[in-house]
Structures are given as C-alpha cells and as structure tokens.
Amino acid sequence: MRSIFLASLVAFLSLANVAAVNQPSRIVQDEPPITAEEYWERVRSTRQAIRESEALPGAQIRARLDGLASEWEQVDAVEFPDQSIVQVDSSYLAAELRSDPPDLERLQNLLDALLRAHEEYPQNVFTIQDIEPLRGILARPEFQWEPRQARAVEMPDWLAGIFDAIAEFIEGLAFSLRNVSYYGRVPLTIAAALLFVLALYFISRGLSRNLVREAQLAAQGGDADELLTSKGAIQRAQALSGQGDYRNAIRYLYLSSLLVLDEKGLLRYDRSRTNREYLRSVSGKPGVAEPLRDVIEVFDRVWYGFESVDEASYQSYTKHVDELREKKE
C-alpha cells in the first residue's frame, strides 16, 4: 500500500505542477488545453470507469483501459481561471493504464491518492506578485524613521576608582591562590599519601585476620575436608564455636548438612559444585529444598558477605541445620 501511495504522489507531481510555479508560462498548443475543472473531472470519470470494469471480461477490460490511456495521452496542458496555461505530462498515468496484466486495484488507489492530494492541497498560494502591495505600505512616512545614535556614557571619576580598586583586589586574590596552589602541592601530596597508606593498613589488617584464621584451619585440616563425615564436621564446628570463631563454625555446620544429605542419598556432595547447583539437584524434593535454601542463604551472608555472627545467631543456625539433618526425603 505504501508503494502505491508513493507512486501516486510521483504521478501527481509529474502530471501537474499546479500552483507550484511562481510564474506560469503561457504556451501555444496544437490542441486547446482543458480547464482545471475538466482535468479533475476526467480523473474522477477515469476512476469510476475502472471501478465499473471489475465486472467485465478480461478482453473488455483491456479495451477500456487502452481507450482511457489514449484519452490521457491527448492531455498535455491545463488552463487555470487566470488564463495561465501549465504544461502537464500524462505519460505516467497512460503507462499505468496500459500495463499488462491490468491491475485495477492499483489504478484505483493511484487515482484516489491523486484526488486526495488535490483536495488537501492549499487553494491559495502566495507569490511574489502578492507581496508587491506591501512594499508601498512600508514606504509610507509613518514607517520611516532614523535610528538614534547611541551616546557615549562617561563614568564619574569616583565610580571608576571603585571599579579599579575591586579589580586590583580580585587580581591580588587570584595571585595569592596561585601561590598557595603552587607551594602547597608538596604538603598536600604528602597528606594524600599518608591517608592512602592508612587506608591500606586498616583494609589489609582486616583481611589478614581472616586469611590467618583460614590458613590455620587449612594447616590443621589440609585436604581433610574431603575425608570428613557429617559427624566429624559437627565436632569441628563445636570446637570452633567454643573458641568464639562462629564464622568458621557456621562453615562446618553447613558442610555437615551437605554431608548428611549425601549419606542419605538425597544429593551428591562435590566440592566443585556451587550452592545453587545443590539447590537445583533437590528441586524435586520440596521437603529438603526449602530448609536447605535457608541454610545456604545464611551461610552465603556470613561466609561470602562477611556478615557478623554472635552466639545467638550461631545457635539459631544450629537449629536450622539440625532440622535439615532430620529430613529423610
């Protein structure tokens, strides 16, 4: 439909440059030109003839379209009410009418678009001749005036002195700021370096404490985690909680819950698996998946999120683990 509309507009522009020219040319024609009203009436009659052709046999349709094309080939000029004559080119419409096989729907859409463009196009288009009277109006005396010459404003001496003093103060302040920024670079750099070193110290101190504790546990256990049973993990968690190391105690409680589920055949324990993989492996067992999700969420917050843990939180976590250890399916 869009291609038909674009083709229609091309046809409209090629058929008539109606009111688009500023100086309509008067040309001599062998055949007298048709009027604008006759031109658009011919467009309407052509559209009506195409609509009526839909009920005719193919041979009659071809003959009617060829006759319409011959009529349009004779249209080469249009005369407007002001007796100006505009030359038009009807070859595009004639070619569409002679197209084989004939496309009646396309022809109707083309002519409909042509008529719609004619109805929506503004009837009055202003030209250079339309604004000529405006020149005479603007030439009247009431529209003529001479611009006033601007007078130079002389500043009093006392006001000029105030402005000079302000300018000198600003210049001196800017000079002082430049000196401070230049000579103060070294102290500012040293202060920034000290702050950076202190920040690194406190950050590394907190990290080192966790790393030392984990290194101690690794030295004590080594690769023994793989040889642990659920009971062994519980015993190690109890030992760590007695020392106040609740964070690592929670880790072994979590490990004991995975080991006991493995011992019951509810999941397969593998150190390479992630927590989410454990949850997916028991997704078909809602009685196990829900408590395991609670245990994993607390472990993730404590172990990976470094959430602080006290004795009350540890005891609450122990109850969750005990409930999970009691699950059978």
Q: What is the pLDDT of residues 56-106, one digit of tens each?
A: 888 888 998 999 989 998 888 998 888 888 888 888 888 999 988 888 899
> Does residue 320 sit within a domain?
yes
In this structure, the answer to whether residues 193 and 303 fall within a common structural domain is no
Count of domains forming the chain: 3
> Does residue 163 sit within a domain?
no
Q: Could you list the residue range(s) of the whole structural domain that residue 216 is in?
A: 173-221
CB of 210 closer than 8 Å to CB of 275: no
In this structure, the answer to whether residues 229 and 201 fall within a common structural domain is no
Structure tokens at 56: 């005719």
> Does residue 135 sit within a domain?
no
> Does residue 196 sit within a domain?
yes
Residue ranges for the chain with pLDDT beneath 50: 1-29, 186, 211-212, 215-223
Structure tokens at 179: 């000196």
On the question of a cis peptide bond just before residue 101, with omega within 30 degrees of 0, the verdict is yes
In this structure, the answer to whether residues 80 and 190 fall within a common structural domain is no
Whether the model clears a pTM of 0.85, i.e. scores above it, the answer is no
Domain boundary at 186, 202, 221, which?
221
Q: Is 175 exposed, middle or buried (0-12, 13-18, 19+ CB in 10 A)?
A: exposed
Domain boundary at 112, 129, 146, which?
129
- Residue 133, pLDDT score: 82
In this structure, the answer to whether residues 264 and 206 fall within a common structural domain is no
Helices 185-221 and 157-183: crossing angle, nearest 10°?
A: 40
**How far is the C-alpha of 310 from the C-alpha of 297, rounded, in Å?**
17
Q: Which residue has the tokens 């674009």?
A: 6
Instruction: Specify the DSSP element, H or E, that contains 176.
Output: helix 157-183
- Residue 176, pLDDT score: 67
Torsion of CA 16, 19, 23, 26, to 10 degrees: 50
Which of 199, 306, 187, 322 is closest to 253 using CA atoms?
322
> Does residue 159 sit within a domain?
no
**How far is the C-alpha of 266 from the C-alpha of 329, rounded, in Å?**
7
Domain boundary at 71, 97, 129, which?
129
Report how far Cα 130 is from the mean position of its chain's Cα atoms: 48
- Domain containing residue 251: CATH number: 1.20.120
In this structure, the answer to whether residues 47 and 11 fall within a common structural domain is yes
Q: Could you give the angle at the alpha carbon of 5 between the alpha carbons of 4 and 10, nearest 5°? A: 95
Note the residue count of the chain.
329
In this structure, the answer to whether residues 180 and 92 fall within a common structural domain is no
> Does residue 253 sit within a domain?
yes
In this structure, the answer to whether residues 108 and 21 fall within a common structural domain is yes
In this structure, the answer to whether residues 85 and 204 fall within a common structural domain is no
In this structure, the answer to whether residues 216 and 228 fall within a common structural domain is no
**How far is the C-alpha of 10 from the C-alpha of 58, rounded, in Å?**
28
In this structure, the answer to whether residues 7 and 123 fall within a common structural domain is yes
Structure tokens at 157: 């001496």
In this structure, the answer to whether residues 15 and 70 fall within a common structural domain is yes
**How far is the C-alpha of 263 from the C-alpha of 265, rounded, in Å?**
5
> Does residue 144 sit within a domain?
no
252-283: string of b/e by CB count within 10 Å (b at 16+)? bbbbbbbbbbeeeebbebeeeeebeebeebbe
> Does residue 152 sit within a domain?
no
In this structure, the answer to whether residues 185 and 289 fall within a common structural domain is no
CB of 247 closer than 8 Å to CB of 302: yes
CB of 81 closer than 8 Å to CB of 36: yes
